[in-house]
Amino acid sequence: MFITVAVILIVLATFMLIIYNMYVDYAARRESDLRMMVNQARNLISETEEMLLNQAQIPFSRVLILILRHRILNALKKLKADPHAKHIDEKIIEQQRIINEVTQNYKEDLAFRPPENDAVAVAQLREIRRLRKIIYNEMRAGNPVDPVNCQKEDRRLQLLVLKVNISNLIQRTLDLKRMHQVGSCRQLVEKGLDVIKKSPIKDNWLDEKALTLTQILVDIDKELKEKNRQQDAQRGADEESKKELDELFGDKKKW
């Protein structure tokens, strides 16, 4: 009997130890998952706030700002699960106030500002890629901003990528033209016109730049024709001069 009781107690102790270890593992995993979620939420808030501060380079629409603000709001709500987080409720209320203010009173300025140089153009394109990725992810995550407006904003950013590239291309084209590198200049112009022609999205700005590129192409053709005319004239003058020299210093005919 004693042996039976001892065996039962050992089995129970072993079972309880297994249960305890399982609970410890579960608690550790839960704590690890919580830390990961909190870190991701904090990083997301930091990244999004940084993007909102960099509006000088890229025109932000109301829709885009609302997407980013809701992204911060959702991340703040996740931080409520962190027992060490402070003033989260106040931050959520403040973020909601900003969202309401943007919804009602935000004045859009979507005028395109061409990049000053290649470095600025690269930075703009990198930022636009990040924004388009965020829009896609937020639509999948159920961001409350209207999906139709999100799609329109994505098309606007897609058009902005084209504008940055065309603006940069025109600047390089003008630089080559000033250096009289007409061959390379012509290739860039034709490439730019082809890109604009094939783009499914267009606006007045692109139409104006297409006219600018077309005019550059006309100027290049004029310059090439003038250059060829001068070369032909010079070649004719050289041949005439050579003919005169031959008549003066060439072998005399015997009569």
- 83-103 average pLDDT score: 90
Distance CA 165, CA 209 (A): 12
Q: How many residues does the chain have?
A: 255
Angle between helices 204-249 and 147-178 (to 10 degrees): 20
The percentage of the chain sitting over the pLDDT mark of 90, rounded to a whole number, equals: 44
Distance CA 231, CA 221 (A): 15
Q: Model pTM?
A: 0.76
pLDDT in tens, 211-255: 999 999 898 888 777 776 766 666 655 565 666 555 555 555 444
From the list 107, 115, 113, 108, the residue with the least C-alpha distance to 205 is: 113
Q: Tell me the pLDDT band of 165, cut-offs 50, 70 and 90.
A: very high
Cβ 37 vs Cβ 81: under 8 Å: yes
Distance CA 159, CA 156 (A): 5
Cβ atoms within 10 A of the Cβ of 171, count?
16
The secondary structure of 11-74 as a DSSP string is HHHHHHHHHHHHHHHHHHHHHHHHHHHHHHHHHHHHHHHHHHHTTTTSPPPHHHHHHHHHHHHH
Q: Which helix (H) or strand (E) holds 235?
A: helix 204-249
- 198-207 average pLDDT score: 89
pLDDT in tens, 110-145: 888 888 888 889 999 999 999 999 999 998 888 898
pLDDT in tens, 43-56: 999 999 999 987 77
Distance CA 173, CA 249 (A): 49
pLDDT of residue 245: 53
Of these ranges, 11-25, 63-77, 100-114, 211-225, the one predicted with the greatest mean pLDDT is 63-77
Cβ 205 vs Cβ 163: under 8 Å: yes
Is the per-residue pLDDT at 23 higher than 90?
no
pLDDT of residue 254: 46
Is the per-residue pLDDT at 62 higher than 50?
yes
Cβ 175 vs Cβ 191: under 8 Å: no
pLDDT of residue 255: 41
